[in-house]
Structure 1
Amino acid sequence: MPFFLPWHLLLLKHNRCSQNISRGSSLTPTTNTTWLTRSGLYAFGFYRQGNGYAVGIFLAGIPQKTVVWTANRDDPPVSNNATLLFTGDGLALPTAEGQNYLVKSSGSSSYASMLDSGNFVLYNSGREIVWQSFHHPTDTLLPGQRLLSGNELFSANSEADHSTGIFRLKMQNDGNLVQYPVAAADTSIYAFYSSLTVGQGENVTLNFGADGHLYLLNRNGTNIRNITDGGLPTDEGKLYMIRKRMQFVEWESSKDKCVPKGLCGLNSYCVLIDLEPDCRCLPRFESVNQGNQTSGCERNFVADACKNRNENFTDTMEELESTTWEDISYMSLRLSDKDDCIQGCLADCDCEAVFFDGTNCRKRRLPLRFGRRDKGTSERAFIKVGVPTKPDTDPRIVQPGSKKKGRTDILIIGLSFTALIHFVVDFRDCVVGIYKNERCEW
């Protein structure tokens, strides 16, 4: 089963037609389900999500929907008897408790348009825009759309689940475009891609051109960085539709698919197998969810020898070579002997892992995160594991290889771009990438 993670850019052609939607119009999941662009390229409305329906914008006219924007993406799906109503305040799902607004306009809205650019727009009576989806991206940028300073794109959990995933792309206020895990702070130690444009000032924007050109503009409109060169066909006035979902990479932020921090869950680390990422558990740990490698790993043994002094159970250390992890050690000792480092951890009930580089011994508590195989590191990791000395005499001991009941809630961290910048999330493409879809002229 594939991993899920990143961003792609799906480039499509459109004309500038639109059609208006009057206030009081409504949609339901089963009848009158969408508002189409005049060309039929994009649709706004209900689409299948899990056991119910979500509201968003997607490519129309193809069996498998490519979703480019989702309203309230982390809300549970709605049932098939829901109604989406366009009111003067925006778009609402009427409930017994009142109106649940999926879109709230900044002023009174008189009519709406689903533009062929993929932008859904609300206007007041003076034809001024009071809300537009282009200013509220989720996991996708479309041609002509910008990511404004201070805003972010968040990956989806999967192609079938468009709720917030484990990565984010942020257009920082300092002018730097950076990728982070969702749960990490905006600091360089957690970044796994940067445009290296820090210090370029406020109001820098990420721009996505119709020709696949991805670039940064400062507040004066000056190009400060070309992320890609573009060069894809830009034949205006022609409409193209996806014939089948064939994608190939035009650009990606990293060739190493284990670079994104948080790709593997807690207590697991990323290994490249034929250039594809695979998550491995710490020694004597096993996956929390075999079908989801981002779920992390948990112990398959009871580690109580240190604190309870159980004579039927003892602690030992198992080595894990050539891996790097987030450094949040609670103690660092100047030691030159590996065995002294190991013994120091075994004698410390708070210590669950140590990292030794020949001169320093760093003690860690679990969980470990942001792990990846790195053959270039000289640091060696040693993980404390429990070994039963008399396995048949203590019923509390869970044998290695068996599944421990219960689990601790873990933080799962995820991102995707589309031409569309579409954070379509597939672990095989766990870095920001521009993708070009095969098209046929319509």
Structure 2
Amino acid sequence: MAFLLLFLLSFVFNSANAQPRSPIIEPGSSLSPNNNSYWLSESGQFAFGFYPYGNGYSVGIWFENIPQNTVVWTFNRDDPPFTGDATLLLSTQGRLVVRPTQGQEVLIADVGNAASSASMLDSGNFVLFGSSSEIIWQSFDFPTDTILPSQRLVNNNLVSNVSETNHSSGKFLITMQLDGNLVQYPVGAVEMVFGYWNSKTYGAGNGVSLNLDSDGHLYLQNATGFNITSLNNKVAASGKPIYRATIDADGIFRLYSHSSNRSDNWFIEWSSSDNKCDPIGLCGQNSYCVSMEGEPVCQCPPRFVYIDEEHKDLGCRKNYSLVACTGRNYQTFNFSKLVDFSWKDSDSYLDVSARTENDCRSECLRDCNCDAALYNNQSCKKLKLPLRFGRRDTSSQTITLLKTGGELAGPGTGKRKLRIDILITSLALAFSTLAFLVLAAIGILKYRSRVREYRSHVQEYERILHSVNNRIAEDVALKSFTFEELKDATNNFVDEIGKGAYGTVFRGLISDGNSDGERMVAIKRLEKVVAEGERDFRNEMRAIGKTHHKNLVRLLGYCYDGTNRLLVYEYMKNGSLADFLFKSKLKINWEGRVEIILNIARGLCYLHEECETQIIHCDIKPENILMDEKGYAKIADFGLAKLLMPNQSKTYTGIRGTRGYVAPEWHRNLAITVKADVYSFGIMLFEIVCCRRSVEADVPENEQVLAHWVYDCFKANEVEKLVRNEEVSKSKLERMVKVGLWCTQDEASSRPSMKKVTLMLEGTVNIPDPPLLSSFVSSP
């Protein structure tokens, strides 16, 4: 009797806590990530819906009844995650969509006919049914990195994830080819020579499929249903295991099992390779893979260093500078040598015959385009950097010759040749300068006329814009919150999203005044503000609240409640510029970085010259530049240092700002003006251009202080060194560098205003060459 009672209690408890299961999903059904809802298969094995990913949620399929909740399929894996206010919906029109609160809905299943219902099947396949109960769409037809039992891979690919936690498309794929061969390749190099594993079924014909049985048997089957090869032996059933076959982030295809008789971890039943260095492309450019204690390690050739010490798989860069090659000074170069390494030799731009290694070396030495050469069996392949797909290969018998810098050969001979080259270059430069002056003299009158016309348009535009902004500011009022309201909005300040010089920032939800819904906001709890009365604090808040510009983070409200002072800002979902520049593996392209620099310049110009009360920021740095959902850069924390009111002294007490960004006048106890922000902007401009911090210790000594290195490169006419391995117009790069050098002049009076900086960046006005560091000249 006791046993029966215990059984009934257990049944009631489990029933009360189980997620409602709906094998058939009717039109009108919806899911939301906020209430953690999803659609389960009938047995509860698989779930379809939103799962937490990054800073939001993705739509996918995962194993629900095992602790890891392993994801096996993701919709639009390379798109940004959805926000918590999105809705997954099978609409009454029979369309499966994700509907955000703002913006256009995203279609998941692109089918011609409307779906009459949907279902999450026990096989792990999410399907849409037509009016006759036929399947009109299924997730099995659009695999990501995994196949499941009863799923077939035909004329399709599986692509690895970037990592276990990053589900974006990674470096490797496995494809079922039309010729019947199952092959693994690096993404972007699907060529026979780069296949690093295959099923050896070439010629089996079209229609061959990769299959996984429920008993863990992984095999290939032809179009007639005949099993042409088995990739593994059948697995002995124990504890009703479940199986999946996944191409992992390291490029190896593995069969996994999970059994209640074993631990909670997945167990590897079979893998395409036991050597983790086998996947071609595991290591980035100019690097190669070496196996150490069974684990892959990416290493650099001699005189190369890692691009990023913390992410060695990103590759290597040269740790030396070559003298300019002229075709006559080839004696100045040496070579580093590697034996038994293979690279992507199809990148060679010229193949020549060479009887010996020395012949190959000489061929590359005399060719200014040649950065490296591969010698093997009287064949010499000339290549340019970067080298790709490097790995140790003792069977290749290839000798790699890397061209590096060296000493001049012979006493005085090389120097004499070098001087002749310098003379020729100087004469050519003088002739070019003369021609330029003639053309400039012809066009200068037209140019001045256009500038005058442009300035009159600008002045009229600014007058209208200023009037409009004033009217808008008068109509917009900040909301005053109580401390308890903001405590509830942040769930007692538990969701911390950042910490800065003035306090800690928390994510929160406040009621949306225009609807019955809620709005996500960023709430800054001030910790280091100068004590002032409530009236002064509210005056400052009103002044900040009147600043409205598309490149400023908007202040929505504030709290002054006893000792508690908080600010409520619009929420910026994409984090700070520092995250994009210094932490993300994905580098912002040149055009994107230029646009970000312009966004920041326009925002600072508004603070300094166009808003009602002039504001000096005092802490311009990438951490205080936030990115919105459209990729626009917005300035945060403005007005918190101290408002520069018309009747105030221009001298601030104590150094404000962040080391590496503060202007020299802070250290000299001089008057602080808007030019202090101009200096910080210049330092940050260099960081955005070069995608690195202003001060770094793990780089060559002459590059450690970024501003000094930029100056040296500009002085030597070698600005291209600042953007290694990136195709950027030298003239555009020089324009950016010159603006930054003007902004970082030692004397504040020599720095341009932010309005002038913006015009220079836009190309509206000419930019004179900045002076030498020891010079003192008037502002441009």
Correspondence for 2:141 among 125, 135, 142: 135
Q: CA deviation at 1:357?
A: 2.7
For residues 102 and 388 of structure 1, what CA distance do their matches in structure 2 show? 62
Query: After the TM superposition, which of the residue ranges 240-249 and 28-37 deviates more from structure 2?
Result: 240-249
CA shift at 1:279, angstroms? 0.9
Bigger drift between 298-307 and 217-226 goes to 298-307
**In the alignment, is the contact (CA less than 8 A) between 1:106 and 1:131 conserved in 2?**
no
- Secondary structure of 2:345's match? coil
Confirm or deny that 1:274 pairs with 2:278. Answer: no
Q: Which moved more, 1:86-95 or 1:254-263?
A: 86-95
Choose from 19, 42, 52 the match for 2:56.
Answer: 52
Give the aligned partner of residue 408 of structure 1.
725
Partners of 1:220 and 1:338 in 2: how far apart? 53
1:31-53 deviations in Å (ceiling 9; x for gaps)? 15311223222111111111111
Tell me the amino acid that sits aligned with residue 40 of structure 1.
G
Output aligned runs, 1:51-90, within 5 Å: 51-87=55-91, 88-90=93-95
Larger relative contact order (CA 8 Å, sep ≥ 6): 1
Give the stretch that moved more between structures: 356-365 or 139-148: 356-365
Question: Per the alignment, do residues 224 and 246 of structure 1 end up closer, same or farther by CA in structure 2, a change over 3 Å counting?
Answer: same
Deviation, 1:59, is 1.4
Corresponding position of 1:122: 128
Distance 1:279 1:353, change over 3 A: same
- Contact kept, 8 Å, 2:305 with 2:317, in 1: the verdict is yes
The one-letter amino acid paired with 2:398 is E
> How far apart are 1:309 and its partner, in Å?
8.5
Query: Contact 1:214–1:228 (CA<8 Å) still a contact in 2?
Result: yes
Q: 1:213/1:200 Cα in 2 relative to 1: closer, same or farther (>3 Å)?
A: same
Q: Distance in 2 between matches of 1:244 and 1:234?
A: 13
Cα distance in 1, alignment partners of residues 259 and 376 from structure 2: 56
Q: TM-score, normalised by structure 2?
A: 0.46
Distance 2:391 2:241 in 1: 47
Q: CA deviation at 1:63?
A: 4.9
CA shift, 1:255, in A, is 2.3
Separation (CA, whole Å) in 2 of partners of 1:303 and 1:66: 50
Assess if the C-alpha contact under 8 Å between 1:109 and 1:125 holds in 2: yes
- Distance 1:250-1:173 versus aligned 2 partners, 3 A rule: same
Please tell me the residue identity of whatever aligns with 2:143. P
1:161 aligns with 2:179: no
Displacement of 1:84? 1.2
Aligned amino acid, residue 173 of structure 1: L
Distance 2:228 2:237 in 1: 24
Match of 2:336 in 1: 318
Q: Tell me if the contact between 2:240 and 2:259 (Cα under 8 Å) persists in the aligned partners.
A: no
CA shift digits 1:123-180 (9 cap, x unpaired): 12221111111121111011111102x1111111111111111111111112111111
CA distance in 2, matches of 1:128, 1:82: 29
| Structure 1 residues 352 and 44: CA distance shift in structure 2, 3 A | same
1:120–1:409 CA distance, 2 compared to 1 (3 A): farther
RMSD: 3.1
Q: Could you say if the C-alpha distance between residues 364 and 183 of structure 1 is closer, same or farther in structure 2, counting changes exceeding 3 Å?
A: same
Cα distance in 2 between the residues matched to 1:362 and 1:318? 16
Contact map agreement 2:36 2:50 (CA 8 A) in 1: no
The size of the alignment, in residue pairs, is 384
* Correspondence for 2:374 among 352, 355, 376: 355
Worse overlay, 341-350 or 200-209: 341-350
Letter in 2 for 1:84: L
Report the structure number with the largest CA radius of gyration.
Answer: 2
Residue identity in the other structure for 1:170: T
> Which secondary structure state, in structure 2, belongs to the residue aligned with residue 72 of structure 1?
coil
SS of residue matched to 2:360: helix
Give 5+ residue unaligned stretches, structure 1.
1-16, 398-403, 411-442
Q: Secondary structure at the match of 2:193?
A: helix
Q: CA deviation at 1:57?
A: 0.4
Q: Structure 1 residues 237 and 197 mapped into 2: Cα distance closer, same or farther (>3 Å)? A: closer
Partner SS, residue 224 of structure 1:
strand
Residue 275 of structure 2 aligns with an amino acid whose one-letter code is: D
Secondary structure in 1 matching 2:361:
helix
Alignment match, 1:41: 45
User: Which of 231, 234, 239 is the aligned partner of 1:230?
Assistant: 234
Structure 2 CA distance for aligned equivalents of residues 384 and 331 of structure 1: 16
Pick the structure with more helix per residue: 2
Which one has the bigger strand percentage? 1
TM norm structure 1: 0.79
Partner residue of 2:453? none
Structure 1 residues 237 and 371: CA distance shift in structure 2, 3 A: closer
Aligned to 1:283: 302
Task: Summarize deviations over 1:83-110 as a string: whole Å, max 9, x none.
Answer: 1111244321225443211222342101
Aligned to 2:276: 257
Tell me how far apart the structure 1 counterparts of residues 334 and 35 of structure 2 sit (CA, whole Å): 64
User: Which segments of 5 or more consecutive residues in structure 2 lack a partner in the other structure?
Assistant: 1-20, 243-257, 409-700, 703-710, 715-720, 728-780
